[in-house]
A = this chain, B = another copy of it.
Amino acid sequence: MKVLVIGGDGYCGWATALHLSARGYEVAILDSLVRRHWDLELGVETLTPITAIQKRIDCWQGHSGKRLELFVGDITNYEFLSQTLRSFEPEAIVHFGEQRSAPFSMIDREHAVLTQVNNVVGTLNLLYAMKEFLPDCHLVKLGTMGEYGTPNIDIEEGYITIEHNGRKDTLPYPKQPGSFYHLSKVHDSHNIHFACKVWGLRATDLNQGVVYGVLTEETGLDEVLINRLDYDGVFGTALNRFCIQAAVGHPLTVYGTGGQTRSFLDIRDTVRCVELAIANPAESGKFRVFNQFTELFSVGDLAMMVKKAGTAMGLDVEVNHLDNPRVELEEHYFNAKNTNLLSLGLQPHFLSDSLLDSLLNFAIRYKERVDAQQILPKVSWRR
């Protein structure tokens, strides 16, 4: 089965492309490489020394005997996108190809507009190209659990049945996204839902939690295959960032009280979830939503777990509560469903001491590459 991975040079995309290739899927990568460009613009670098995509692909071929086809270009360019689809003819498209950082989208007006135009137009182009050339192809689109915000009721998977004034309907779950980035994902979800309805396309929206970890079976095979691992204030995410901070002796940066509860998953589960979605495609005309995470943690609890694991390894780990640069509730109810992927067979890698040890050791190995100036958050949500 042919699978096109859009954004296949990124953190989740690269791991997913290799995972699918290893399992016998015929994989092509489409990537604009703009993520590397944004690192240059912001003057930040992944902790890990990632190699050029062409080198990565050659190395993977050396190990696996499998060649990933590569299309370098931008999906906001419809000509390029439609030529790629006509040339490769995928049966499934995994779409990671969006600007994925909330702080990046909040830097200023230009970054907010860039994020929303890039993400919304890229996905609109994809929907039109599928309608035109591959109406039966299955779109597996990365959304985010952050689309839901923190409602005071249980979070269902994409839809909720509401009884109101004696009548009943199952409607899209109300969204309360917390940044212009998260908003772009909500816009996408609505657009994709509509395209499924009017054109009979099939799509799965994976509302993913915060991904942690770096090694997968495939990316760990060779240093040339190494995955990116962001620790900076713009692209770094909670648990990965804490481990790197612990490794270099920087206090862990908890925003506010740390009572914010979020959903998390191991990158080894990300790749498996995408595989499960592809192997069990949505029906034609159906917009299916899976909540893609395995566990819920508060940010403060995560910091304490990293402190404990770090201390056991002889590191001196402090936890700092910074003024929260975001506008978000720090104490709130949060309970989200994630049964769809479990019922398709996902066997979670729960967060464990051994994963934390491995991640801390990994961070220590590359700690000389850390630029301490890039650790603290610099982007504020407020006026």
Interface residues of A (CB under 8 A from B): 78, 109, 112-113, 116-117, 120-121, 124-125, 128, 131, 135, 151-154, 160, 162-165, 167-169, 171-180, 183, 186-187, 190-191, 194, 197-200, 327, 333, 381-383
Distance in angstroms between the alpha carbons of A190 and B199 in the assembled complex: 25
Specify which of B135, B154, B183 is in contact with A165 (CB 8 Å cutoff): B154
Chain B residue with Cβ nearest A78: B109
Nearest-CB distance from A287 to chain B (Å)?
11
- Determine chain A's interface SS by DSSP, over half rule: mixed
- Looking across the interface, which residue of chain B has its beta carbon closest to that of A382? B198
Contact partner of A327 (CB less than 8 A), chosen from B117, B169, B171, B197, is B197
Nearest CB in chain B to that of A199: its residue: B383
| Contact A167-B187, Cβ < 8 Å, known A112-B128, A113-B124, A381-B198 | no
Partner of A168, one of B153, B199, B383: B153
Q: Which residues of B contact A152 (CB under 8 A)?
A: 167-169
The answer to whether B169 and A171 have CB atoms under 8 Å apart is: no
Do the beta carbons of B172 and A333 come within 8 Å of each other?
A: no
Do A382 and B199 have beta carbons less than 8 Å apart? yes
User: Closest Cβ of chain B: how far from A60's Cβ, in Å?
Assistant: 34
List 14 extra interface pairs beyond A162-B162, A180-B194, A187-B190, CB under 8 A.
A117-B117, A152-B169, A153-B167, A153-B168, A153-B171, A154-B167, A167-B333, A172-B174, A174-B174, A175-B190, A186-B190, A187-B187, A198-B327, A200-B383
CB pair A174–B177 under 8 Å, yes or no, is no
A336–B177 CA distance with the chains assembled, in angstroms: 25
